[in-house]
A and B are shown apart, each in its own frame.
Chain A
């Protein structure tokens, strides 16, 4: 009978001296899931991954793979394989030997290992590359060898430690899609760590946002983006406007927050004395005519201070009365506001639902 989870992390803590790199973290990964751990560098995600791989040992807690505790099991006996940040291909071996290495470690005969390595190379689109030297491959090809080398062993879980970090932007975008497709075809459980929110959002089924050794929130990419549970998640995942002020509860779950300038904003969230409010740039509605925005609780007037053109990710910075810093909004590329220039006056507003307020 199949175990309902591939990986269970139970109250794992790792201390280096008095510093807790991983602090009482628990989560489970279901079979076939693409699970990402997203966090800034130094948040403990690499330590967590190295504990799952078996290169570090937890100070307390348990790591279970398909229900079996991995405590005391050395790295070379775990049904887990890792794609390293540097890929760590074996430079002294050919592509085929790299892929066959794990099989021959398990005692598979040379001919059988070679045949299986070749079949695997074919599946990742590297047919006929077996005899090449690893240094003669492009970045994307090396990436695929590193993954093939793991998948050929049919592991329960593949760990990926920011493997796209070293690639240039274009290739990285391409590899994101390719990795996701590979994971879907092989139906292997992937645990992926990254500091790049776009990688995590695009590829993952579920994401854990990690900060200072703890999980801030675990959820689907949409949940994290639209309903962040903490101010850290709100500011780390995706672009956002952030304001500080004083909050007081208002009627029907709405919170009113007063900015230092005296301007009052209405949003959703918990009331506190000092508070932070977050609004996504795409939630900011723009109009030339103020009557269009009449039914929005937050309405302001401003003047465009900068146009940051970046294709689909373009944005506007709008100097707005009452705000210390310009408000960021998505650049309209169609409709009456398309082609808006620096200096143009504009009306802006957003709903109370679009603004998340947290106690600061």
Chain B
């Protein structure tokens, strides 16, 4: 009997860091932001409850267009990342053996040893008008004059796909690794072409990994700030920039808070939709990730 309170205390102490982490760093700030997003300035330094910040979003086209653009571009980036990562993951999981496998995974990981900012600056060095790639294009006679490859959607997509690739490859390779070789052979043996085996056996088996990778990459992309700003410049038009502008430039915290909540809603809604469309549950997906 006397052991019980002691056990409870131990349990509480063990859980305390996790609870504090979740409570202080995740739940509390979000509650604060939620409350903040519903406060309207009615007079200098006087705030009242209202939906004005959300109304502002729908009435100002720049806001909701940037919002829609961010969503559409993020989905596109996720799709491109998936298409690029699938063959790489397939190779790592099914073909490469032993040391080669470890080497390849390390190679995917290597760019993440430097910060996102440095990686993005690296792309800027390659792409800018006086940079490496325009120089090479000119030297090869493919361009008459140095071309500006930065500050367009292509550059933004390139940077985001590059940043997301690892987070797609790892869950995909995990999922593909668990596919029994004999099952693939049986697929061929019974008359399946490469395409049939891929479509009916490999992809369905890898589905939890595909969904897990897509969720991670989508979340990272939607919430990215540095890459669209640096590679897209003024044309980046990422929704996180709007949030940044409200908080830091305009000093309109309630408006920024409302945008933040909208972005959270957007990513949650798209993830939910993705899970529904692919018939996966969050539980099995998280296991793959």
Residues of A participating in the B interface, judged by any CB pair closer than 8 Å: 53-55, 74-77, 80-82, 84-86, 88-93, 101-102, 105-106, 149-150, 153
- CB-CB contacts below 8 Å: B198-212 with A: 200-201, 204-205
A91-B183, A92-B200, A102-B190 known; 4 new pairs, CB 8 Å cut-off, are A76-B191, A92-B205, A101-B200, A106-B191
Q: How far is the CA of A91 from the CA of B183 in the complex (A)?
A: 9
Q: Nearest Cβ in chain B — how far from A298, in angstroms?
A: 50
Q: How far is the CA of A85 from the CA of B180 in the complex (A)?
A: 12
Residues of B participating in the A interface, judged by any CB pair closer than 8 Å: 180, 182-183, 185-193, 196, 200-201, 204-205
A75 touches B201 (CB 8 A): no
Q: How far is the CA of A82 from the CA of B190 in the complex (A)?
A: 8
Q: How far is the CA of A88 from the CA of B200 in the complex (A)?
A: 14
B188 touches A86 (CB 8 A): no
Given A81-B190, A101-B190, A75:B185 Cβ within 8 A:
yes
Select one of A80, A82, A92 contacting B186, CB under 8 A. A82
Select one of A55, A74, A90, A153 contacting B183, CB under 8 A. A90
Q: How far is the CA of A153 from the CA of B186 in the complex (A)?
A: 13
B190 touches A84 (CB 8 A): no
B204 touches A92 (CB 8 A): yes
Given A88-B180, A90-B183, A76:B201 Cβ within 8 A:
no
B182 touches A84 (CB 8 A): yes
Q: How far is the CA of A106 from the CA of B190 in the complex (A)?
A: 9
Select one of B182, B192, B193, B204 contacting A101, CB under 8 A. B192
Select one of B182, B185, B193, B204 contacting A105, CB under 8 A. B193
On chain A, the residues within 8 Å of B204 by CB distance are 92
Interface centre among A54, A91, A153 (most CB of B within 10 A): A91
Given A92-B201, A92-B204, A153:B191 Cβ within 8 A:
yes
What are 17 pairs between A and B in contact, CB < 8 Å? A54-B188, A54-B189, A74-B188, A76-B190, A77-B191, A80-B189, A82-B189, A84-B185, A89-B183, A90-B183, A90-B187, A91-B205, A92-B200, A92-B201, A105-B196, A150-B190, A153-B190
Q: How far is the CA of A82 from the CA of B184 in the complex (A)?
A: 12
On chain A, the residues within 8 Å of B192 by CB distance are 76, 101-102, 105
A90 touches B193 (CB 8 A): no
On chain B, the residues within 8 Å of A101 by CB distance are 187, 190, 192, 200
On chain A, the residues within 8 Å of B201 by CB distance are 90, 92
A86 touches B182 (CB 8 A): yes
Q: Nearest Cβ in chain B — how far from A337, in angstroms?
A: 50
Q: How far is the CA of A149 from the CA of B200 in the complex (A)?
A: 16
Given A84-B185, A90-B201, A102:B191 Cβ within 8 A:
yes
Q: Considering only CB atoms, which chain B residue lies closest to A53 in the complex?
A: B189
Q: How far is the CA of A141 from the CA of B192 in the complex (A)?
A: 24
A88 touches B186 (CB 8 A): yes
Interface centre among A77, A80, A82 (most CB of B within 10 A): A82
A76 touches B183 (CB 8 A): no
Select one of A55, A86, A91, A105 contacting B190, CB under 8 A. A105
Q: Considering only CB atoms, which chain A residue lies closest to B194 in the complex?
A: A76
On chain A, the residues within 8 Å of B187 by CB distance are 90, 101
